[in-house]
Amino acid sequence: MPYTAEHKAETRARIVGSARKLFNRRGFTDVSIDEIMAHAGLTRGGFYNHFATKDELYAEAITLTLQCEKMTADGSEIDFSLPPSRLSELIINAYLSDRHFQDVEESCPLVALPSDTARGGEPVRQAYRQVLEAMIRLFERSQDKRGDARQRAIAMATLCIGGMTLARAVDDGELSAEIRHIAKDTALLMGGWNAKSPTLAAE
């Protein structure tokens, strides 16, 4: 009996979820299709019922970033109906939080996968760009009364992604925390929100 559309959608979601966790943990090149399918509790043969290539799967895993920051730094859910200014402030705090730093498997792929993306094919690079642009647009809307709104938005996105990437890369816990805290405070000050380091000028 053929599988229902609902079953196919659920299976595809399992594959993408498995891939995202493994890609975040080990990177694109070091994870095989066999491992992704086994982690999802499926066999390799089923992969090609859903994806033509590993690159296609990788691109879809990256787009999950649009849904990944649903929790604030304290674990409560973010209300995405909030005004852009308040929503952006919450996302910056969540992005550079201890919770996001520690949860590598569920991390935002913008942090975990940039070097792999740079070496990837066009679908991968396009998906990464689209997700990055979504973050920039949100931050830009939070700054709509400023003439340099886009420049500030790009800088805030860079501080979030770059700050977490560097924090994950170093082997010194104190330096890692310092990087995240300074990146967060600078991004918040740039957006006009309160931060713990008032000496870091936003202007």
- Burial of residue 75, with CB atoms counted within 10 A of its CB: 0-12 exposed, 13-18 middle, 19 or more buried: exposed
Look at residue 203 in the predicted model and tell me its pLDDT: 37
The per-residue pLDDT for 159 is: 97
Q: Check residue 67 and give its pLDDT.
A: 56
* Assigned architecture for domain 66-191: Orthogonal Bundle (1.10)
Q: Residue 109's pLDDT is what?
A: 67
Give 124-179 pLDDT, tens digit per residue.
788 888 888 999 999 999 998 889 999 999 999 999 999 999 998 899 999 999 99
Q: In CATH terms, are 5-54 and 66-191 the same topology?
A: no
Contact 126, 59 (CB under 8 A): yes
Alpha helices by DSSP H, listed for the chain, are: 5-26, 33-39, 54-63, 65-68, 84-95, 98-102, 109-112, 114-119, 122-142, 149-169, 173-191
Q: Tell me how far CA of residue 96 lies from CA of 1, 42, 48, 122, 190, in angstroms.
A: 48, 34, 36, 29, 15
Regions of the chain where pLDDT drops below 50: 1, 197-203
> Domain map of the chain by residue range?
5-54, 66-191
Q: Which amino acid, residue 66?
A: L
| 86: number of Cβ within 10 Å | 13
Give the pLDDT score at 154: 97
CATH number of the domain at 5-54, please? 1.10.10.60
> What secondary structure letter does DSSP report for 113?
S
Collect all residues with Cβ–Cβ distance below 8 Å to 21 and sequence separation of at least 6.
Answer: 39, 105, 106
Whose structure tokens read 């999802």?
40
